[in-house]
């Protein structure tokens, strides 16, 4: 018991001077491989940037697709760029019910035994087989941020919101460290609504 209390106290002290972390809320979206871009939008088609995202080099594209599942569909699902080696659809739990599919909560890229769906674009369609997930909440950060926050890549941490109305703590938040990452806490729309958060709000590490 003493050890647990001591560890909690140390964590509190370490987090006291830690920087606030900006929130980035992800709506449903899809990352596409170039081959799938061309199938959906035409031969030699390149994604067109609509809006730059906070993470360097990442953007919301002008292109959108329709997602179809056994029970329903989702229209105007935004494509995010740049292209990736493997296409991946990220949706919310409510979207799973709408589509009638089962998508596990996973880190990006961990697609084994994940969900499946059909993408429809203006020029064709692509079947995603075990390529649909609900994204696990995570924090992007640089090595310098990680050092300041006393965390490491792959570590699971807790994050506390600062809203007076809906203050809560997110546990099991994955730390993702890379040289080109900017500090940002990524959650989906359902998690954001539960906590009363909007893009640009600030949260703190809670241990």
User: What is the rounded distance in angstroms from the CA atom of residue 67 to the CA atom of residue 128?
Assistant: 10
Rounded Cα–Cα distance for residues 61 and 45 (Å):
12
Let me know whether 36 and 105 are in one domain.
yes
CATH number of the domain that 164 lies in? 2.40.40.20
CB 203 within 8 A of CB 163: no
**Residue 107: count of CB within 10 angstroms of its CB:** 13
- Total number of domains constituting the chain: 2
Choosing from 117, 135, 153, the residue where a domain stops is 135
Alpha helix (H) ranges present in 17-109?
Answer: 34-41, 93-99
Structural domain including 76 reads 27-135
Nearest to 37, CA basis, from 80, 95, 91 = 80
pLDDT, tens digit (0-9, with 9 covering 90-100), for 16-53: 567 899 999 999 999 999 999 999 999 999 999 999 99
Q: Is residue 158 part of a domain?
A: yes
Q: Are residues 195 and 149 in the same domain?
A: yes
43 and 117: one domain? Answer: yes
> Are 109 and 164 contained in the same domain?
no
pLDDT for 175-203, tens place per residue? 999 999 999 999 999 999 999 999 999 99
Structure confidence by residue, pLDDT tens digits, 50-84:
999 999 999 999 999 999 999 999 999 999 999 99
> Are residue 91 and residue 46 in the same domain, yes or no?
yes
66 with 153, same domain: the answer is no
Asked if residue 6 belongs to a domain, the reply is no
144 Cβ contact list (under 8 Å, min separation 6): none
131 and 50 both lie in a single domain:
yes
Q: In this structure, is residue 73 part of a structural domain?
A: yes
Torsion angles phi and psi, residue 98, rounded to 5: -60, -45
**Residue at 105 is within a domain:** yes
Whether residues 131 and 143 fall in one domain: no
């Amino acid at each position: 018991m003493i050890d647990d209390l001591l560890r909690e106290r140390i964590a509190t002290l370490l987090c006291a001077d830690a920087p606030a972390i900006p929130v980035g809320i992800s709506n449903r979206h899809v990352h596409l491989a170039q081959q799938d871009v061309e199938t959906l939008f035409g031969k030699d088609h390149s994604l067109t940037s609509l809006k730059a995202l906070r993470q360097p080099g990442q953007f919301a594209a002008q292109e959108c697709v329709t997602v179809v599942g056994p029970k329903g569909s989702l229209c105007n699902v935004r494509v995010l760029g740049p292209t990736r080696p493997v296409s991946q659809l990220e949706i919310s739990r409510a979207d799973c019910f709408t589509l009638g599919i089962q998508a596990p909560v996973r880190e990006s890229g961990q697609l084994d035994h994940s969900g499946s769906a059909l993408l429809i674009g203006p020029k064709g369609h692509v079947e995603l087989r075990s390529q649909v997930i609900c994204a696990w909440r995570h924090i992007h950060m640089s090595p310098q941020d990680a050092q300041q926050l006393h965390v490491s890549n792959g570590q699971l941490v807790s994050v506390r919101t600062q809203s007076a109305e809906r203050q809560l703590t997110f546990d099991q938040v994955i730390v993702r460290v890379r040289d080109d990452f900017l500090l940002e806490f990524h959650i989906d729309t359902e998690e954001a609504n539960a906590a009363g958060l909007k893009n640009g709000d600030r949260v703190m590490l809670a241990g």
